Amino acid sequence: GEDVEQSLFLSVREGDSSVINCTYTDSSSTYLYWYKQEPGAGLQLLTYIFSNMDMKQDQRLTVLLNKKDKHLSLRIADTQTGDSAIYFCAEGGGSYIPTFGRGTSLIVHP
Amino acid sequence: NAGVTQTPKFQVLKTGQSMTLQCAQDMNHNSMYWYRQDPGMGLRLIYYSASEGTTDKGEVPNGYNVSRLNKREFSLRLESAAPSQTSVYFCASSESDLLSPVGTSTYEQYFGPGTRLTVT
């Protein structure tokens, strides 16, 4: 079955870059997503990448997709304390039931 | 446009009590979902409704029932609450290609703010 794996924690210093990694198994996914969950709130879409793309940049966010290795990463440049949150990788799209990873807690130290 | 709304925000139940969690969306989405979130477990799908009039079990359906009342509303019922059901419950909705041609949507999920349920 489908599976999405990501590490549980990442700790960085304010101003550094953060890289959150994710691997997935379902090669038929149409979209791959990154969701952000702030404390006490629901998940909110941060960015996404269509499965036929290799890279997507959106201000401080860069998403890289390696379809051959089924590896997705999210890079946050100039990480700020406000970026502290849980980041979920997910794959799906169309009529697929999306599959979520367990979430990576990003802790940003001043 | 309120997005996805959930009630209540917080609830404490005694073991054996019943309750219904309410969810509504105003985005005219076909698909709706109920998840539970527990520490270290990520999101686990309880039930989903691909379209109005259909419901299907997800990964962890035992102890729950759902009703897709209409296109807007999808409720989750705990008939006899157990301490193992202490969790944060999220409702979500999304467009799907059942009715939308592929390429007209990114099919992202929109989440409600969650219901924090404690069963003692």
The pLDDT tens digits for B76-86 are: 999 999 999 99
Query: At residue B16, what are phi and psi to the nearest 5 degrees?
Result: 95, -15
- Beta-carbon contacts below 8 Å between A and B: 58
Give pLDDT, residue B110.
94
Distances (CA, A) of A101 to A25, A98, B5, B91: 11, 10, 24, 17
Instruction: Give the A window 15-34 contacts with B, CB below 8 Å.
Output: 30-31, 33
Residue A6: helix, strand or coil by DSSP? strand
Query: At residue B58, what are phi and psi to the nearest 5 degrees?
Result: -100, -145
Nearest to A97 among B40, B48, B90 (CB): B48
How many CB atoms sit inside 10 A of residue B70's CB? 10
Give pLDDT, residue B104.
62
Alpha-carbon distance of B86 to B17, in angstroms, equals: 13
How many CB atoms sit inside 10 A of residue A63's CB? 21
Cβ distance of A48 and B106 shorter than 8 Å: yes
Which DSSP helix (H) or strand (E) runs through B115? strand B115-119
Cβ distance of A48 and B113 shorter than 8 Å: no
Minimal CA separation from A13 to chain B, in Å: 23
* Residue B107 predicted with pLDDT over 90: no
Q: Which of A68, A66, A79, A77 is nearest to A21 (CA)?
A: A66
Average pLDDT over residues A75-94: 93
* Residue A1 predicted with pLDDT over 60: no
Give pLDDT, residue A97.
84
Measured in whole angstroms, the distance separating CA A94 from the mean position of its chain's CA atoms is 19
The pLDDT tens digits for B11-27 are: 999 999 999 999 999 99
Signed CA dihedral, B12, B15, B17, B21: sign only: positive
Give pLDDT, residue B43.
92
The pLDDT tens digits for B27-67 are: 999 999 999 999 888 899 999 998 899 999 999 999 999 99
* Residue A95 predicted with pLDDT over 70: no
The pair of structure tokens assigned to A61 is 């966010």
How many CB atoms sit inside 10 A of residue A52's CB? 8
Mean pLDDT of chain A: 92
Are residues B34 and B48 in contact, defined by beta-carbon separation less than 8 angstroms?
yes
Cβ distance of A100 and B114 shorter than 8 Å: no
Distances (CA, A) of B97 to B28, B29, B50, B87: 13, 11, 10, 31
Residue B16: helix, strand or coil by DSSP? coil
Is B32 at the interface with chain A, CB within 8 A?
Answer: no
The pLDDT tens digits for A51-70 are: 889 999 999 999 999 999 99
Nearest to B111 among A44, A48, A101 (CB): A44
Cβ distance of A42 and B102 shorter than 8 Å: no
Residue A82: helix, strand or coil by DSSP? helix
Give pLDDT, residue B86.
98
The pair of structure tokens assigned to A110 is 């001043």
Sole residue written with tokens 């924090």 = B116
Residue B49: helix, strand or coil by DSSP? strand
Nearest to B102 among A41, A94, A98 (CB): A94
